[in-house]
Structure 1
Amino acid sequence: MSKTPSVIDWLPYQRAWIEDRARFKIGMFTRRGGKTFGSSGEIVDECIRAEMERRRVRWTILSRSDNTAKEALEDALKPITRAFWAVYNEVSKLGGEPEFGEDTFYSRELDATYKTHEVRFPGGSRVVAISASPDAARGFGGNLLLDEFAFHQDSRRIWASAFPVAARGGHKIRVISTPNGKGNKFYELMTTEDNGWSKHHVDIYEAVRQGLDVDIEQLRAGMADEDAWAQEFELKWLDEASSWLSYDLIGECEREGLGAPRRYLGGPCFVGIDIAARNDLFVIWVLEKVGTKLLTREVIAKRRITFAEQDMLLDDVMRRYHVVRVRMDQTGMGEKPVEDAKRRHGQERVEGILFTATAKLDMATGMKERMQDRELLLPLGDPEIRSDLHAVKSRVGPTGARRLIADDSSDGHADRFWALALASSAAELDYQPYAYQPVRMGQDMDRDIAVTGGFRTREGVW
């Protein structure tokens, strides 16, 4: 390693990363551990060495988004570069030279050129930071840093585009990240044995042992999420744990005989509907409240049906069950179906839900809690239902925010999961038991009208 001025006190694991000259190198580092800063230190050092040797190098940083690409430059690479040139110029003014070896290369005051996405060194070396995509990976030049690679969308396609370019050109590749489950290329690279990669692993405990100034207990208490802590700081590979509903939990909530409409007992029902278009599934999930439990009475799943057919299926459900509340996905194309359902079945009984990240997490949390209490019961042994319910994964992003996403292996986009979550959340709203009494409206009337009281309804008829 070149002996750059000692303007930064690197932690031992950061220095070990910088000094590791392997062509292919991968590091799994704790959050808050300075992995991007340390990686930027290596890039600056490489560019300075190229300047000394009168040659040029190029580095490309692929980040998970445009904002994080800018942050990598603004918070890490640019400050390190400025610090180097400040020390170099100060030493030059005093009549000395930084310890660059036998060949010192500049005697005038110098600095790099700084742009939003680029740092260009006086001798022509440059560093570009951009948002990751397969096209960007295919078009990069020079050495490559994949920053937070486990969180890149299409990580496998990005890798398939980037690796051949680097391999043909004899360039270096650096990959750094915290874990993000097992379904990505970062997991594969980090865990495959004897794949020729130099590997670095530094969890929060090792980082603190080597001098990282954080209070572990305070950090853990503030995180208030054991899965997130295990993944982001202890660097655990969460797979089954990252599925919002484990197969064990799903299996413990399954009961024989559920899912059969003929077993309906006539009690109040709650319905969840996931709207669909084109190839997605349209799903209606019907729950009957029996005592403290919600029993699945029917799951309707149809693909490639028209909105008119969807309306007819809902109308049929409303006729066959004593439906108290319907919750429907109102996001995007759901606006009109929700409006039509309200007109046909009443504003009090139909509610549209916009699928924001917060709304989805709230619904999924309530559903999971009911299942953990064995108050939400499912049909026994239906492989499609099991797969859909297991397919939704919990992901904690670099900001610490949790979000729920559907695994690509699910049938559709976990539409059954969200229909069940909607039905379960409909039952969480305030509910009073029904009073039901058939009455006749006038002597000439030959039909019974249900007089009801209860779930956000006014006593009367409907």
Structure 2
Amino acid sequence: MSAPLSREEWEKIRRASRQALPDNLDKLPQDGILLSYQRELFEAVTTHNVTATDKSRRVGATWGIGAAAVLISGAEKPAGGMDTLYLGYNLDMAREFIDTCAMWARAFNQACTEVGEFLFKEQGEKGEDRSIQAFRISFASGFEIVALSSKPRSLRGRQGFVILDEFAFHDDARELLKAAMALLMWGGKVLVISTHNGVDNPFNELLNEIRSGKKPGKVVRVTFDEALEQGLYQRICLVNGKEWSPEGEAEWRDGIRKAYGTAADEELDCIPSMGSGVYLTTAQIEASTHAAPVLRFTCPAGFELQPDAIREAYVEDWLAEHADPVLETLPHNLRHSYGFDFARSGDLSVMLPVTEWYDLVRRVPFSLEMRNVPFRQQEQILFYIVDRLPNFHAGKHDARGNGQYLAEVACQRYGERVEAVMLSQGWYLENTPRLKTRIEERTFLLPADADVTSDMRQIKLIRGIPKVPDDAVTKGTDGGQRHGDTAIAAVLANAASEADPAEYAYTSINDPDPDDNGFDDDDDDIGGATLYNSRREGLF
């Protein structure tokens, strides 16, 4: 009978077992080893210098990142190779990450040394030399993956791909991020990955700065339910040799959520705690206003039953009296866009044009509010105004419900410059922070109006998403119902002003060759004119 294994021998065997793909996983096709969100994160870190991801607990995000780290550090320098510097907040995280990378190195057949522990030299707070335990994998490329201390000074004198894992829980997160960002100067990369730890945490601030455009980078978000939809529990069953079933997954999901209790929002759903309340203060909104009219058009009851000619003439007269004077003041040498929040009854339809000035400030020259206006007349008003917007650039419509009709006819008339937007949590999460940044910086100026200010204050953080709540119903100065309509139009208008749609122009053929049929051999001509797509730089 053989002697019992020593502690060192047992540790070596267990470590080797963790550094190989699970038996069942190696039967998956190559593109099926990583789940969708792991692939998205993998692609983000390979194409962006700065990536941040807010994630649920234990969804395997770090497992996917290990694959990227091995390919980056295993590559030669001309192919983008560099050291990977991993900083977790405890020793167990460092070991787990290094073991994961060793597993990927074997799976990818990367030439590397065995995983090793070593003493990393760094300076203490008083300048004294000190040694800390660290872990390392060295590659034939000359680069290595190193799991370091979580102290910012660990990055001094280093260069490469920095991974800050569970960043929100590091003791000195701000200084750590500052030290990591310094590595970008010489071609490094930074990945900040974490579960949330409060709305005022530096991690949540970083996410908001990237989403709002204040800082360059890519945000990848994965909640617990999103991970399940993309196959997390199926993968757990595969690794553990269990049979997957919808009933089993539902029971497992319910058990996990019950275990987290009231912390599930933050731990599983990527919603930072205390993340509910007013998104923009009155002071911020009023500081970002200017003198601009609000045009209000209300149709009397039964107006929609009048004959077409009467309705059209009535609206034409109103536009000539109220809209023409402000349209004539628009600068003809500047670009104009608009946002449109639709309503037929109850709430308002709000159209918000935007002028882009030379100082890069977006100014709303006027706001148009429509109450109880029939569909056909909203179409009439929309076309009348957009046809007169100088250098029309882009428009975005709320295309939910009945708004889809008006969005559709606008797309038919103005082509790709207009987008029908199905407002969703993801769309709000991407676009509302950009408007907030402009308002904070006073580069998006709204009409100075009590109803406009009230509408903008209706934007709230709802489960981490900045949007107008469904039940946010207020009364306007005219006594009518409002639902944050200007706020929705403002988010759409700002997004339109920042859009990059295709632009079209034409060159007329004034003197066609009488010997041919009027068509050039090299161009496609429509109605005697050659059409150009200036963005695509080609011909139809």
The question of a shared fold, defined as TM-score above 0.5 by the shorter chain, is answered with no
- For normalisation by structure 1, the TM-score amounts to 0.43
